[in-house]
Amino acid sequence: MQKAKADVMTKNRRKINSSPEDESGAVKKARDCRAADPASKAASPSPSSKSLHPADISYIKSRAEKIVDALEKVYPDAQCSLVYEKPYELLISVRLSAQCTDARVNIVTKELFQKYPTLESFANARLADVEEIVRPCGLYHTKAKSIIELSQKLLSDFGGRVPDKMEELLSLPGVGRKTANLILGDVYKQPAVVTDTHCIRICRRLGLSEGDDPAKVETQLREVLPMERASDFCHRLVQFGRDTCTARKPKCAACPLSEWCEGEPASSNGSPLTF
Ligand code: SF4
């Protein structure tokens, strides 16, 4: 079974675009440590749900719960770093956060939400005016257009209310699963997994998921995380990813999760997967 599992994992990894970008010494060390410890390898199945035995899933679930507990102790307050007052403002902020920092989004939305204090004002806004304000967030034409269009759709199809169902959220212009999960988790307190860059990178290092496809990672995490705590866990991952488990220079020596870390898995050609 181990060989079959290894074959499937190798096949899965071949599908992922690998990058020869730099591998930090710390991550490499973490991976090397694991590689040098056969017992650790044998006891740490990676979560490829189609190939894993139920016993392996159960092992990863119990490991995931310990990781969730540990991170909760380090970051008791799980908070979204985007500043908003109304649900539709969160929707707009998340739309602006694509390829932009939350700090910059918060600066931009301060002016944006002052100038357009209601959903109706966004729906009737001139594209050029919105573009001018959101320009610092990048991709400003597309973002401004979808902000106006999603405001119009919220008014025309949902009575001005942000929907609380995944399918309805996905029908809004510019809204993908990441945004929809954030709304469901933060606004409606539903089980949700926000697979942003921090979540994908860290969960892969911790052996909770594989690859860097957000939808596939979400599916894997939904199988192993305690879902009632998943939304908060994802917020904590963002904090952890910013101050400790960074993409290029993770502070492994001071890491509270090091005992569960598997390091950065290699791609089929031996290069580290990076994200
Ligand atoms: S989880 Fe911890 S040990 Fe692993 S790469 Fe991140 S900082 Fe390093």
Would you say 242 and 251 are in contact if contact means Cβ atoms under 8 Å apart? no
Question: For residue 2, is pLDDT > 50?
Answer: no
Tell me which of 28-42, 81-95, 201-215, 258-272 is least confident: 28-42
Task: Work out the angle at residue 182's Cα, subtended by the Cα atoms of residues 146 and 163, and round it to the nearest 5 degrees.
Answer: 65
Given the CA of residue 250, which atom of ligand 1 is nearest to it? 7
Q: Which residue has the CA at smallest separation from atom 4 of ligand 1?
A: 261
What the chain holds in terms of domains, given with CATH numbers, is 20-78+195-260 (1.10.1670.10), 87-186 (1.10.340.30)
Q: Has this prediction a pTM greater than 0.85?
A: no
**Using a 6 Å cutoff on CB, does residue 237 contact ligand 1?**
no
* Mean predicted confidence (pLDDT) in 142-159: 98
Q: How far is the CA of 86 from the centre of ligand 1 (A)?
A: 35
Q: What is the pLDDT of residue 124?
A: 98
Segment 156-160 long-range contacts (CB within 8 Å, at least 24 positions apart): 160/119
Distance of CA 201 to the CA centre of its chain: 9
**Using a 6 Å cutoff on CB, does residue 80 contact ligand 1?**
no
Q: What is the pLDDT of residue 79?
A: 86
Confidence label for 57 from pLDDT (cuts 50, 70 and 90):
confident
* Mean predicted confidence (pLDDT) in 72-79: 93
Q: What is the spatial distance between Cα 21 and Cα 63, in angstroms, rounded to a whole number?
A: 30
Q: How far is the CA of 248 from the centre of ligand 1 (A)?
A: 11
Q: How far is the CA of 245 from the centre of ligand 1 (A)?
A: 5
Choosing from 198, 200, 257, 262 the residue with most ligand 1 atoms within 8 A of its CB, the one to mutate for a pocket test is: 257
Q: How far is the CA of 200 from the centre of ligand 1 (A)?
A: 13
Q: What is the pLDDT of residue 41?
A: 41
Q: How far is the CA of 269 from the centre of ligand 1 (A)?
A: 23
Dihedral sign of CA atoms 113, 115, 121, 126 in order: negative
Exposure of 164 in the CB half-sphere (CA atoms within 13 A): 7
**Using a 6 Å cutoff on CB, does residue 258 contact ligand 1?**
yes
Amino acid at 15: K
Per-position b or e across 63-96, b if 16+ CB within 10 A of its CB:
bbeebbeebeeebeebebebbbeebbbbbbbbbb
Which residues does residue 155 pair with via DSSP β-bridges, in sequence order? none
Q: What is the pLDDT of residue 239?
A: 95
Tell me which of 2-16, 55-69, 93-107, 183-197 is least confident: 2-16
Give me the phi and psi of 64, to 5 degrees please: -60, -40
Q: What is the pLDDT of residue 40?
A: 43
* Mean predicted confidence (pLDDT) in 233-248: 96
Q: What is the spatial distance between Cα 56 and Cα 61, in angstroms, rounded to a whole number?
A: 9
**Using a 6 Å cutoff on CB, does residue 49 contact ligand 1?**
no
Pinpoint the alpha helices (H) of the chain.
2-14, 25-35, 38-42, 54-74, 87-96, 102-115, 119-123, 127-134, 140-158, 166-170, 177-186, 197-205, 214-224, 230-243
**Using a 6 Å cutoff on CB, does residue 252 contact ligand 1?**
yes
CB-CB neighbours of 216 under 10 Å: 19
Q: What is the spatial distance between Cα 110 and Cα 120, in angstroms, rounded to a whole number?
A: 18
Given the CA of residue 244, which atom of ligand 1 is nearest to it? 7
Q: What is the pLDDT of residue 48?
A: 52
